[in-house]
Amino acid sequence: MPAHLDRALVWFRRDLRADDQAALYHALRSAKQVFCAFVLDRDILDALPRADRRVEFILGALQVLDEDLGKLGGALIVRHGFAADEIPRLVAELGAQAVFTNHDDEPQALMRDALVADLLKPLNAELRTFKDHVIFERGEVMTAAGGPYSVFTPYKNAWLRKVDEFYLSSYPVERHARALARTEFAKGVPTLEDIGFKPAGLTGHVGQGSPGAEALLDDFLDRVDQYDSKRDFPAVKGPSYLSVHLRFGTVSIRRLARIAHQLMQGGDHGAEIWLSELIWRDFYHQVMHHHPHAMTAAFRPEYDAIRWETGAEADALFAAWCEGRTGYPLVDAAMRQLNQTGYMHNRLRMVTASFLTKDLGIAWQRGEAYFAQQLLDFDLAANNGGWQWASSSGCDAQPYFRIFNPVSQSEKFDAQGRFIRRYCPELAELPAKTIHEPWARAPLQMQGSVYPRPIVDHAIARERTLARYAVVRR
């Protein structure tokens, strides 16, 4: 297909790779010269603490992306400012006729893109957007009646019926890379200090950019067949640990889904469960597209009538939860893992969310906001979906009367207390049979301990929760 544009700009966002990248591929096929840019958007960065692991991760990924584009003949322009200012300015400076970028369906991102599209019109340029972050998006998987799914299993079944080689195939960027162009505007990737940030202590296991994702994937594929049996145990190497790379697009979702789908077809049950988790990701993104109100309020409006705990006592309980001093070892270990590393095991995300909403009676929005602040892999659609699932207010959520017991969850998923001992070293000397409920089962050993007593009685809290949720049944 002959190029019909002289110059185009590819705007990278949550797709920080040069391989199998939809917007980059379409730009290369559409223009004689293609320039690449990323904006360190102050609309986002100015709201963050000055030490943020995600900013560190992004800068590392940008360095890799710049190197990869350089090998293909291009370069990465990095600007620090407001995207709505910087993208039109770059278009004018480069003489580009179109900006190619991939979809971002978060409500604020849609508003930003609409503004950028309007600002490009006086420059005789247009914004062209493409699907890249999920396998199926928006209205691609719908019910027989033409509406969006609100229950996961029917959505998953429809997803599996529709998926084929076309949807899982890669975009061959390298084949068309001759259109990539260099420019004097590409001056390398700034440092943390250049943009007013400080090191936050990014843990090494996540790796840097696409090579980091590649290393994690290689490691995971050696044990994916055990994913179904090991994924729920935080002391065990069960998950893929690729969530941050999916979030920032340093790995292609098409590649992961293709691998999982092929292994599943070969009878690998672990890969089948892994694919199901990737489908959950698509599911929550289509929920966000069709129900943007759910990003701030309950998906099921009747749950907005719940009266959550507020005031000084609730604030003190919330602080104890945030800081990992609730007196429930598994909850505390999970929150300390989050605070220290920016990561939390998925089973523990459910346990801690249930504890906040159903043991402490605190609104899910407060917990969602704290996770949004701390999680390295924070993704609005998935974070919101998980919190609404735990609080029973979302689509296909657990029933309101299903309340995780933090002690039994601990006994079941960290039976030997290995995970607890790692993040709650003050409990390290307790034997496995007492570590899950130390104040009840090891009162003598815990005398004088710095580890707190439980801030709430689970049995009493459960009754309060059932009463609190009664408003939904009326």
* 3-class SS of residue 132: coil
Kindly tell me the sign of the dihedral angle through the C-alpha atoms of 163, 168, 169, 174: positive
CB 204 within 8 A of CB 216: no
Kindly tell me the sign of the dihedral angle through the C-alpha atoms of 99, 103, 109, 113: positive
User: What are 389-441's pLDDT values in tens digits?
Assistant: 999 998 876 788 889 999 999 999 999 999 999 999 999 999 999 999 998 87
In this prediction, residue 400 carries a pLDDT of: 83
| pTM beyond cutoff 0.85 | yes
In this prediction, residue 446 carries a pLDDT of: 73
pLDDT bracket for residue 313 (50, 70, 90): very high
pLDDT bracket for residue 50 (50, 70, 90): very high
**Averaged pLDDT, 456-469:** 95
Q: Is 346 an annotated catalytic residue?
A: yes
**Averaged pLDDT, 452-462:** 96
Q: How far apart are CA 22 and CA 58, in angstroms?
A: 19
pLDDT above 90: residue 348: yes
CB 13 within 8 A of CB 62: no
CB 333 within 8 A of CB 424: yes
**CATH class of the domain whose range is 5-132:** alpha beta
Taking all residues of the chain, what is their mean pLDDT, rounded to a whole number? Answer: 95
In this prediction, residue 2 carries a pLDDT of: 56
pLDDT above 70: residue 335: yes
pLDDT bracket for residue 449 (50, 70, 90): confident
In this prediction, residue 8 carries a pLDDT of: 98
Task: Check 137, 214, 308, 439 and give the catalytic one.
Answer: 308
CB 198 within 8 A of CB 54: no
The candidate with the shortest Cα–Cα distance to 329, out of 441, 238, 231, is 441
Least confident of 58-72, 136-150, 428-442: 428-442
Task: Check 11, 159, 274, 280 and give the catalytic one.
Answer: 280
Task: Check 309, 346, 426, 439 and give the catalytic one.
Answer: 346
**Averaged pLDDT, 246-261:** 98
In this prediction, residue 366 carries a pLDDT of: 98
- Which residues lie closer than 8 Å to 111 by C-beta, 6 or more apart? none
Judge if 5-132 and 134-170+209-290 fold alike in CATH terms: no
**Averaged pLDDT, 310-339:** 98
User: What are 363-397's pLDDT values in tens digits?
Assistant: 999 999 999 999 999 999 999 999 999 999 988 76
How many residues can be counted in the chain? 474
> For residue 159, what is the DSSP state?
H
User: What are 225-253's pLDDT values in tens digits?
Assistant: 999 999 999 999 999 999 999 999 999 99
Q: Taking CA 319 as the corner, what is the angle to CA 313 and CA 323, rounded to the nearest 5 degrees?
A: 150
Least confident of 106-110, 201-205, 269-273, 294-298: 201-205
Q: How far apart are CA 234 and CA 246, in angstroms?
A: 20
The candidate with the shortest Cα–Cα distance to 181, out of 90, 69, 78, 19, is 69
Q: Taking CA 466 as the corner, what is the angle to CA 372 and CA 349, rounded to the nearest 5 degrees?
A: 25
Question: Chain centroid to CA 188: how far?
Answer: 27
Q: Is 364 an annotated catalytic residue?
A: yes
Question: How is domain 301-473 classified at the architecture level of CATH?
Answer: Orthogonal Bundle (1.10)
The candidate with the shortest Cα–Cα distance to 344, out of 370, 371, 381, is 371
In this prediction, residue 395 carries a pLDDT of: 85
pLDDT above 70: residue 451: yes
pLDDT above 90: residue 263: yes
pLDDT bracket for residue 1 (50, 70, 90): low
Task: Check 67, 277, 411, 426 and give the catalytic one.
Answer: 277
In this prediction, residue 332 carries a pLDDT of: 98
Q: Is 280 an annotated catalytic residue?
A: yes
And the tokens for 437? 């409920």
**Averaged pLDDT, 167-187:** 97
**Averaged pLDDT, 48-62:** 97
Of the chain, the percentage scoring pLDDT greater than 90 comes to 92
pLDDT above 70: residue 51: yes
Q: 134-170+209-290 — its CATH code?
A: 1.25.40.80
The candidate with the shortest Cα–Cα distance to 210, out of 411, 68, 28, is 68
Parse the chain into domains and list their residue ranges: 5-132, 134-170+209-290, 301-473
Q: Are strands 5-12 and 76-81 parallel, antiparallel or unpaired?
A: unpaired
And the tokens for 462? 């459960």
Q: How far apart are CA 437 and CA 405, in angstroms?
A: 11
Q: How far apart are CA 304 and CA 380, in angstroms?
A: 19
And the tokens for 307? 């009266």
User: Bridge partners of 207?
Assistant: none
Q: How far apart are CA 349 and CA 330, in angstroms?
A: 11
Task: Check 11, 159, 321, 387 and give the catalytic one.
Answer: 387
Q: How far apart are CA 315 and CA 356, in angstroms?
A: 12
Q: Residues 92-97: contacts with CB within 8 Å, 24+ apart?
A: 92/123, 93/185, 94/7, 94/9, 94/35, 94/183, 94/185, 95/6, 95/7, 96/7, 96/8, 96/9, 96/35, 96/125, 97/5, 97/6, 97/7, 97/8, 97/31, 97/124, 97/125, 97/126
pLDDT bracket for residue 445 (50, 70, 90): confident
pLDDT above 90: residue 360: yes
